[in-house]
Amino acid sequence: MKKILLLCLATTFFISCKNAEPRYFSSSPEIDVAKAHIKAYNEGDWTTWTSHYADTAKLSHNTLEESSPAEVLEALKDLLAGTSSYGFTDKDIFYEMVIDDDNEKWVNFWGTWEGTLAANNQKLIIPVHLTVQYVDGKMVEEHAYYDLSEYMAILLEIEAEMIVEEEVMEE
């Protein structure tokens, strides 16, 4: 009887263990998509970049407002237009996937964006965090966190210089 009890106990643990599916991953098909997504961004391959999103994907970069991938792409292109080179470096780059309490798959990304501003060759380094929900291998929700203050400050500086130059020319 005791033996049966113990067997049951062992089985129960085994089953409960089976139920405790892993919820943290440092590699997964979704992480592979995330890596391909970063690669497409680095290469400016916007067709591939767009293909990773579901049609109804909602993106929020540094805001609570939601935008479509096409809207965010426009904004990214605007930001990148002022750079002579840009991309995520291989240093300080981390990917992970978790399955949260609502059984949603989220890929978290931490990376280092490096770019050079065309106007004055100034190099910019911006740490970036993305947290992205995947459904059926597609990105459906993306939240991005990165500091644009340095970038904005440089743009303002350049603008101010241009105004001074214009004034000098007018004189």
Partner 1 sequence: MKKIFLIGLAATLFIACEQKAERYSTSGPEVDLVKGLLADYENGDWASWQEKYADTAKVYYNQWDNSETVAESMEGHKQNIALLSSYKFADDVIYEKIISDSGNTWINFWGRWQGTLKENNKVVVLPVHLSVRVLDGKVVQENGFWDNSIMQTALQEIEEMKNAPELEKTIIANQDKLVKAWNNNDADAFMEVSAANVIRNSNGTRQANNQSEYTDMMKQFHTGFPDFKVSLDSYFLKAGKSYLNWTCTGTNTGPFMDNPPTGKKMEIHGYSVWAFDTNGLAVQEDAFFDNMGMLSQLGYTLSPPLDK
Site for partner 1, rule CB under 8 A: 2-3, 6-7, 9-10, 13-14, 16-17, 20, 22-24, 26, 60, 62-64, 91-92, 96, 98-101, 108, 110, 112, 125-129, 131, 143, 145-149, 151-153
Q: How far is the CB of 112 from partner 1 (least distance, A)?
A: 6
Give the nearer residue to partner 1 in terms of CB position, either 25 or 50. Answer: 25
Minimum CB separation of residue 169 from partner 1 in Å reads 26
DSSP per-residue codes, 1-66: -HHHHHHHHHHHHHHHHHHS---EESS-HHHHHHHHHHHHHHHT-HHHHHHTEEEEEEEEESSSS-
Distances (CA, A) of 98 to 18, 92, 130, 142: 18, 20, 13, 15
The smaller minimum CB distance to partner 1, of residues 50 and 154, is found at 154
Query: Quick one: 48 or 112, whose CB is closer to partner 1?
Result: 112
Rg of the chain over Cα atoms, rounded to whole angstroms, equals: 23
> Residue 112's Cα: distance from chain center in Å?
11
Cβ proximity to partner 1, 35 vs 50, nearer residue: 35
